[in-house]
Every structure is written in structure tokens, then in C-alpha cells.
Amino acid sequence: MKLFLPGPMTLLLSLLISMVLLRSDTLRAVQASGVRAPAVSHGVARWKAPRVADATQTPPVHHIQAGGTTAPPGVAAPSSQTDPFAPVYLVTSRDTWQGIRGLARDAVARRDSTGTPLVISETRADRLGEISRYVHVSERRCGGYFAFPSRAQAEAFVSADRAKQAMTKSLAAGYTLDNQATVSRWLPQVQEQRLYDTINHLSSYRNRYFASSHGKTSAEWIRAHWQSLAAGRDDVTTELFTACTNCSTQPSVILTIQGRDLPDDVVVLGAHLDSINGSNPYDPNQHAPGADDDASGIATLTETLRIALADGWQPRRTVKFMGYAAEEVGLRGSNAIAQSFRASGVNVVSVLQVDMTNYKSGAVTDMKLISDYSSTELKNFFISLFDTYLAPMGLTRSSVACGYACSDHASWTNAGYPAAMMFEAGGPNGSFPYIHTPQDTLATMGESAQHSVKFTQFALAYLGETAKTRGKVTGGPAQVLPVQ
Ligand code: BES
Ligand code: ZN
């Protein structure tokens, strides 16, 4: 494994940590019978990996207790919010599971509605950071997953999956490009300083980790800030979304602008508001500034909102700006929202995800459209938006696969809604090198928010062309009109 190159002191420390972990695991194994004690390797307590065949061919017989946990009767399932040894159930791609199988156990093979092979497995709350870090560092790709507090919830999530519908379905009315009057007025109004200030503020919290007090106060700041931008508007409301059973004390933030003509159609713009330190992920005092990942996305949404509201804009469709809780621990906030919208039949017509918008180094394109786990029709529309509004300013685009469940658009895709994501291209050697480290700061991005200006322009084009402007009935068949 490329991840660890231990020196003598590190080895000694690792040995000590292993002994402590092994002892704790052994204790839990006694408390909750049926939980195997882990094997120890590379200084990290691990479970013995089942053979790959277990996960890919014949799912092993699995005994699930009432309530969906593996705790024996009479033993309350510990809360993953407070107990580092609490079980967490992961839904990953089969590839990701193969990389992390030393850290997860009792794997069962499943497929989603698109036929993608998935694995449901069990890990421990304190191992989630190591799982992401392993895939990022060792395999140089995203190792996304959905996380659940019980195996029954993970199973229900996979059975109810509607990804195929979300990725292939065409909207009855289609997406149209015919609101240049509004969008062209907005684009020159983006202020780099305001983007900088928001990123600077959000990255000055010790962290925005979902289970720390800072994770809650930073979310509350976003809500208050968004509300202040809507002063004097009685058609704009903000709320803290707390109906997420595994988001600890971190709320998601939702700002709604009521649609004037088509209020039941909902347009979503989202970014995750939490952050994580991949080396120290279970410490509530971890240093995780998360300036690029994803204060830059929240700043992009905030500046988009500011410009639209300062313009006195009223949309035809209802618009929801969302800051998602707990993305870094398995897309928990966005999944809770998407599932609750699905359950109450909300008609979400499109979702834009902005996650990492401020890093660019060297000769790379300005934006990458995420190619996988998104709506084909919405991706095509993103390309039309880019080519109509951003390409004439000299900006360039490309596309890249992100992997299963790499960011919050996947929650919407899973719930059957059309979602897509625009992403920074990073550098010639790959994506942002300081992701999930204390160096994810404005300082390592040239003390500038210039790159996020472009994403804000993209988000403004998306907003104006999906939600449209009140009273302007353009309608008609799906069409992409060239800019005059
Ligand atoms: N912003 C990242 C996603 C990302 C990183 C996309 C690098 C493309 C390149 C996101 O916050 C993240 O870290 N996602 C995790 C998965 C999540 C479910 C824990 C990941 O990619 O491993
Ligand atoms: Zn991240």
C-alpha cells in the first residue's frame, strides 16, 4: 500500500495505537456477540477481508435483527453520532469495496437500477475518514459511498433506487435557452471579493465537521447570511433541515424563492457545507478548513443568490438553494433531503451540484462536467449553457468521471431526479492536492477566488435558464437558441 512509509518512530506509535484499537475492539466484540475481532496490519486494526467472491457472486447469509442492526437483542445499537465503534453501513461501488475491504466486513453484492455492481458492507464510525483517504491517496480517485445507521436502511436505499430513471428520462417540457435578457445582465455582476470573503469566513472555522460544534455554528452562519441577502423579500424563506437521522447536530440549510408562475416545479442549486480532515477524521477539534472542498461551492451559491436577489428577480419556478450537511461522511444531508422530497412527491426539475470550484493550476480546462451518475439530458443542457454563455468569454470545458457517490448529485440521482455537477479541473497531475488536509486554504489557491467567478457565472446561467423570469412565458418545444 502506497499510503504508509513508516519510520521507526511511526512504527512504534502505530504499534501502540494498534494495541489500543485491538483492545477496544476486543471489548466491543465481547459486548456485541457476533462481531469478529479485527486482524491487525500496517498499524491499523482491520477486519479480515472476506474473499472477493463473497461480495461479487453469492451474497453470504446475513442475520439482521429487528430494527435493522446487528446488535443482539437487549443491547441498544450505539449511536454513530457519539460512539466511534458504532456500526455504519456503506453502499459503495464494487471497485471501491475491493480497495477498502480490509476496513469493512460482511459484504453483500447488490446492483442498482442501472446494473452497476454495488456492495453493502459494515464498518465503524471512526474508520470512514480512513476509507476515503485510502481511495484518494492510494487509488488516486474518489471513493464515494452512501452511509446508513442500519443495514436495513442501506438495503431499502438500494432496493428503492431510481438512478436509471434519473439518468435516462427526458423532461416532458425539455430544457430551453431563451432567457438571455436576465442572464446577460447578471454575468458581469460577479464580484471576486465577495466570493473570497465567504470562502475566507467559512475556512476560518476550526472545521465544519458534521459531528462538531463548529459544524453546527458554521451551518447556522450560512443560514443567517442567506437570510440577510433576502431582506425585504416576503417570497424568500430560509430553514434548517434537521430531519436527517445520521447527521449528528449539523443541519442542512435551505433557502427557497417561491415560484410565481410554476410554483410546483422546483429548481435546486446545492453545495455541501461540511468539511473533514482525512488524517484525523473522528476528532471534533480536527483542523479542516475546507476552503476549496467545499466553502468554494457555498460561496458560489451565495454570490449567485446575492446577484439574483439584488436584481429584484422573481422566478417562474420555485428555486431552492441548499447547503448540505455531512457530505464527507456518506452524502447524508443531501440523501435525507432527496428522500424526503421523493416521499412527499416534490417535482424537482433539475439539480446543479457545485463541489470544489476555486482551484486551477496550469494548462487545464476551466471546468469539468462530471460524466457519471448524472442525467444525460441535464448534462447536455449544461454543455449548451456553457457554450452559450461561458465559451464566448474564452472559457473551456472538458469532462471526467467522478465515481459512484462522489458528491451530493448522487443523492438526487438515486432518488430519481435529474442532477448534474460542474467541477474544477485541478492541475495537470490531477485534482486539488490538498483535499481533506489543513492546507485546503485560500493560501494554497493563490489567495484568490478568481476561479469561482467562472462557476458563479455558470450557476447564474443555470438559474436564469431553468427557473426563468416571472411573467416571461417562453415555453414552446425544447430548443437551444444561439446567443445573438
Ligand atoms: N469534493 C469531493 C468530491 C471530489 C473530490 C470530486 C475530488 C472529484 C475529485 C467530496 O467532498 C468528497 O470528498 N467525496 C468523497 C466521497 C464521500 C461520499 C465521502 C470522495 O470522493 O471520496
Ligand atoms: Zn470532500
Determine the pLDDT at residue 82: 62
Per the prediction, the chain carries an average pLDDT of 84
- Mean of the pLDDT values across residues 45-52? 44
| Beta carbons within 8 Å of 221's beta carbon, 6+ residues apart | 201, 202
Q: Which ligand is closest to the CA of 436, given by its number? A: 2
In the chain, DSSP finds a helix count (H) and a strand count (E) of: 14, 14
Per-residue confidence band for 121, with pLDDT thresholds at 50, 70 and 90 = very high
Residues paired with residue 354 on neighbouring β-strands, in sequence order: 422
Q: Do 352 and 420 have their domain in common?
A: yes
Where does a domain end: 135, 159, 183?
A: 159
Element (H, E) at 423: strand 419-424
Q: Is residue 15 part of a domain?
A: no
DSSP per-residue codes, 30-86: HHSTTPPPPEEETTEEEPPPPPHHHHHTSPPP----TTS--SPTTSPPPPTTT-TT-
Contacts of 436 (CB under 8 A, 6+ apart): 129, 132, 133, 136, 276, 277, 278, 279, 288, 293, 328
pLDDT at 79: 54
Q: What is the Cα–Cα distance from 289 to 283, expressed in whole angstroms?
A: 14
Q: Which residue has the least CA distance to atom 10 on ligand 1?
A: 407
Q: Please tell me the total count of domains within the chain.
A: 2
Q: Which helix (H) or strand (E) holds 12?
A: helix 8-31
Q: Please tell me the distance between residue 294's alpha carbon and the centre of ligand 1 in angstroms.
A: 10
The CATH number for 211's domain is 3.40.630.10
Identity of residue 45: A
Domain shared by 93 and 175, yes or no? no
Q: Let me know if residue 369 belongs to a domain.
A: yes
Binding site membership of 354 for ligand 1 (Cβ less than 6 Å): no
Residue 201 and residue 373: Cα distance in Å, rounded?
A: 32
Same domain, 169 and 155: no
**Nearest ligand to the C-alpha of residue 143?**
1
Do 149 and 259 reside in the same domain of the chain?
A: no
C-alpha closest to that of 47 among 13, 22, 73, 74: 22
Task: Based on the residue annotation, tell me whether 465 is a catalytic residue of this protein.
Answer: no
Which pLDDT band, with edges at 50, 70 and 90, does 29 fall under? Answer: very low
Q: Is 449 in the pocket of ligand 1 (CB under 6 A)?
A: no
Q: Is residue 392 part of a domain?
A: yes
Residue 122 annotated as catalytic: no
* Residue 136 is a catalytic residue: no
> Is residue 407 domain-resident?
yes
* pLDDT at position 266: 98
Is 18 domain-assigned?
no
**In terms of domains, do 112 and 197 share one?**
no
191 and 64 housed in the same domain = no
Scan for cell 474473499, then name that residue. Answer: 51
Q: Clarify whether 272 is annotated catalytic.
A: yes
Whole-number Å distance between alpha carbons of 283 and 370: 31
Is the same domain home to 170 and 198?
A: yes
| Nearest-ligand number for the alpha carbon of 328 | 1
Q: What is the pLDDT of residues 455-477, one digit of tens each?
A: 999 999 999 999 999 987 654 43
User: CA dihedral defined by 421, 422, 426, 431, rounded to 10 degrees?
Assistant: 0
Instruction: Assess whether pLDDT exceeds 70 at residue 109.
Output: yes
d(CA 119, CA 483): 46
Of 225, 272, 409, 451, the catalytic one is 272
What is the Å distance from ligand 1's center to 155 Cα?
A: 23
Q: Is residue 311 part of a domain?
A: yes
The pLDDT of residue 312 is 97
In a domain, 7, yes or no: no
Q: Can you give the residue range of the structural domain that contains 134?
A: 46-159
Strands annotated E in 150-300: 236-241, 252-257, 262-272
Residue with CA closest to ligand 1 atom 8 = 402
CA of 402 to the centre of ligand 1 (A): 8
pLDDT recorded at residue 81: 62
Look at residue 137 in the predicted model and tell me its pLDDT.
73
- pLDDT reported for residue 135: 77
Residue 3 has pLDDT above 70, yes or no: no
Where a domain ends, among 159, 192, 214? Answer: 159
pLDDT in tens, 13-26: 333 333 333 223 22
pLDDT at 413: 98
Q: Do 94 and 188 sit in the same domain of this protein?
A: no
Give, for 134, the enclosing helix (H) or strand (E).
helix 128-139
pLDDT in tens, 280-313: 888 899 999 999 999 999 999 999 999 999 999 9
Judged against a pLDDT cut of 60, whether residue 372 lies above it is answered with: yes
Predicted confidence at residue 47, as pLDDT, reads: 52
* Same-domain pairing of 133 and 198: no
Q: Does residue 42 have an active-site annotation?
A: no
Higher pLDDT, 453 or 8: 453
In a domain, residue 480? The reply is: no
pLDDT of residue 4: 29
Kindly name the residue from 328, 366, 377, 408 that is annotated as catalytic.
Answer: 328
Is 155 one of the annotated active-site residues of the chain?
no
Whose CA is closest to 188, among 464, 475, 460, 471? 460
Q: Which three cell numbers stand for residue 67?
A: 430494527
Could you say which of 130, 159, 188 is where a domain stops? 159
Q: Do 85 and 170 lie in a common domain?
A: no
Q: In the chain, pLDDT over 70 holds for what percent of residues?
A: 81
Ligand 1 binding pocket includes 293 (Cβ within 6 Å): yes
Whether the CB of 334 sits within 6 Å of ligand 1: no
Sign of CA dihedral 348, 269, 364, 93: negative
Looking at the predicted structure, is the pLDDT value of residue 116 above 60? yes
Q: Is the pLDDT of residue 45 over 70?
A: no
Please state the rounded mean pLDDT for residues 392-401.
97
List, in sequence order, every residue forming a beta bridge with 427; answer none if it has no partner.
430
Same domain, 273 and 323: yes
Give 142 Cα–ligand 1 centroid separation in angstroms.
6
Judge whether residue 195 has pLDDT over 90.
yes
Cell matching residue 233: 423579500
Best residue among 135, 138, 142 to mutate for probing ligand 1's pocket (most ligand atoms within 8 Å of CB) is 142
Strand pairing partners for 270?
Answer: 322, 353
Per-residue confidence (pLDDT) for residue 281, from 0 to 100: 80
Q: Which residues contact 34 (CB under 8 A, 6 or more apart)?
A: 63, 70, 72
88 and 212 assigned to the same domain: no
Probe residue for ligand 1, chosen from 327, 367, 407, 431 as the CB with the greatest number of ligand atoms within 8 Å: 407
| Ligand with an atom nearest the CA of residue 359 | 1
- Ligand 1 centroid–CA 407 distance in Å is 6
Cα(144) to ligand 1 centroid in Å equals: 6
What cell numbers appear for 423 in the block?
467541477
